[in-house]
Structure 1
């Protein structure tokens, strides 16, 4: 006969194995139940959305246009805006949206009051151009001031202030590889950026750094007063509250990836196109020379640079915060996270 203590030990082991098996089965049942609840919830949401769609397919004035999304990209000069815009042009046929360039007289980023009203009316009521992607070198415009229904979504890209100014300085003199035969405004001036700063030239003065803040600040007069801290705070407010996403030139691919994840209606295929397309890296400033340390140090003594740089770092931190909550890194590659929420306990129940 088996000794009592060995029998008790085997009984305890058998009981433990049985409990582990039961717990495992319970866990599987819980997971199955959760999956079933998600499926049921998605089905209920789909039916509710369908009923809502049927109810509002026509209102008292016009058909409901489910494809009336409008994006405005009020692009800051020399922030890789042409490279990004080319992607929109390449995708618009495939993804079926319209792209419109906002061409202002003498590239003036500030519109007259009457043009502001015209532009707002066009964007909100021009149904033939919806869905639409508008882009141009114009300052931010607050649509809520004009008594219209429906606001567009704003996006933009910013760049290190000194790097942006250096790129613009050489662009005015030598152009780029986008339209190499076009004569630029400062063509023939061979002075380097370092020489310009050293001699106190106007084309490289600290006031020329003042551009990204007013583009985000808008059409208020104070926005264009170089070094205005009020303009800085207004630009920060608009960036956080009025822009869907603001990227940085140095991390343009991540910006495009996030846009594709958030707005596939416009940007499906944009990331792959940026990585492999011939037009994505099209525009590069010719004859650009990096400034030396002395030049950078002299510009950084300016209060204007300090405020513009504060805005750039604010935008960079916000972009990195958004990215950290939207993607994960694996084997050196970034992957967009799948949807991490669902709906449940939807009442009244659908019959």
Structure 2
């Protein structure tokens, strides 16, 4: 028994010595390496990696380097990011963050602008509403200046102005998202005609402020006389009004014809997120809330609220009259391109509602203009444009007030 125990102890001693010898070899091999690994070193490496990843994330989310990195570079005497690369790229938001509403005169634009002012405060986006109402066509230099100014607005923003479509990509500037609203062309024309003369419910003297130089014989000119006797305000190119807003800044966009019509349609399909129709305004607001929730969430509740109704009722044009059937027929014929565009936009709007599955809540229009197409034309063709009318084309907007 004594010999057995001695043997066991000897064996255990050899085993322990063997382990120590093996560990000694391992540490001797590690000692040959230039770096020694330890828990403290491992923790330092992980902490450094974490700080680098966090700093990189912070950099990307804020569109530039963290301030601490700039301070360190400045302290070390090196150049900053701005010195080497210029301004950092603008922050890219996960939704359309640049929206333009190139509102068409007398198409409910003041109603929408009032809503936008309330929404901007609620959702914290930048609303820039231009007070320029009578300059819709711009020179190339003016176009570039305006587009650069628009692009410099802090995002997210919504810019609104009475201006014909601007093609940002033509000047290698990022194209914003466009939205707009139009209405039945004859109703728009009548609303503008009487608004210029008698204003709206905001005040009896409102029209005198907008058209102070209008003489009484022009202010009280009968609408039927204006249409049937071819007064400039009621004939081409003055009544060719909606299409240029979508056609653009090209000079041919101001000429009533197929070219301007087709170009306007193309721009609607390629550059506009939504073009609604005023006759279905509640559906327009619902679609805007669905397509641009970060701008329009809750817009319909505001629109239906009693407080808003008090403000909205002040924008209606007063003393409007309906022309005779003959005058309407003549006007409709002069606006045949406007109506073709209006019908195109209305069909596209209804298609969008169907795709989204929106159940319409808007009331149908009080009457249809289809009956005008069936009437026999009893007046001469509207005047064609020629070189002598070029001056009239340039100042056409002086006849139309953009509220």
Distance 1:54 1:146 in 2: 32
Give the secondary structure class of the aligned counterpart of 1:173. Answer: helix
Structure 2 counterpart of 1:70, from 77, 94, 98? 98
Corresponding residue number in structure 2 for 1:125: 152
Instruction: For residue 207 of structure 1, report the CA deviation from its aligned partner.
Output: 2.5
Runs of 4+ in 1 over 6 A off after TM superposition: 52-55
Alignment of 1:91-240 (within 5 A): 91-104=119-132, 107-127=134-154, 130-148=155-173, 150-182=174-206, 183=208, 184-185=210-211, 186=214, 188=216, 189-225=219-255, 227-240=256-269
Distance 1:154 1:137 in 2: 13
Corresponding residue number in structure 2 for 1:23: none
Corresponding residue number in structure 1 for 2:318: 286
Alignment of 1:14-93 (within 5 A): 56-57=60-61, 58=63, 61-62=88-89, 64-66=91-93, 69-93=97-121
8 Å CA contact 1:206–1:299 kept in 2: the answer is no
Shift of the 187–265 alpha-carbon distance from structure 1 to 2, 3 Å rule, reads farther
Distance 1:62 1:206 in 2: 47
Normalised by the size of structure 2, how large is the TM-score? 0.63
Instruction: For residue 88 of structure 1, report the CA deviation from its aligned partner.
Output: 0.1
Instruction: For residue 55 of structure 1, report the CA deviation from its aligned partner.
Output: 8.4
Distance 2:181 2:215 in 1: 27
When the two chains are superposed, the root-mean-square deviation of aligned CA atoms in Å is 2.3
Whether 1:297 and 2:329 are equivalent positions in the alignment is yes
Give the secondary structure class of the aligned counterpart of 1:111. Answer: coil
Instruction: For residue 264 of structure 1, report the CA deviation from its aligned partner.
Output: 1.1
Structure 1 counterpart of 2:287, from 258, 270, 280? 258
Structure 1 residues without counterparts, runs of 5 or longer:
1-51, 335-351
Distance 1:263 1:53 in 2: 27
Task: Tell me the number of residue pairs that the alignment of Structure 1 and Structure 2 aligns.
Answer: 274
Instruction: For residue 259 of structure 1, report the CA deviation from its aligned partner.
Output: 0.2
Shift of the 196–72 alpha-carbon distance from structure 1 to 2, 3 Å rule, reads same
8 Å CA contact 1:260–1:267 kept in 2: the answer is yes
Distance 2:58 2:151 in 1: 24
Distance 2:289 2:280 in 1: 15
Give the secondary structure class of the aligned counterpart of 1:207. Answer: coil
Shift of the 300–328 alpha-carbon distance from structure 1 to 2, 3 Å rule, reads closer
Instruction: For residue 230 of structure 1, report the CA deviation from its aligned partner.
Output: 0.6
8 Å CA contact 2:233–2:239 kept in 1: the answer is no
Whether 1:267 and 2:291 are equivalent positions in the alignment is no
Distance 2:120 2:141 in 1: 30
Deviations 1:40-66 (A, max 9, x none): xxxxxxxxxxxx977842457246353
Deviations 1:314-346 (A, max 9, x none): 0111001101222343xx858xxxxxxxxxxxx
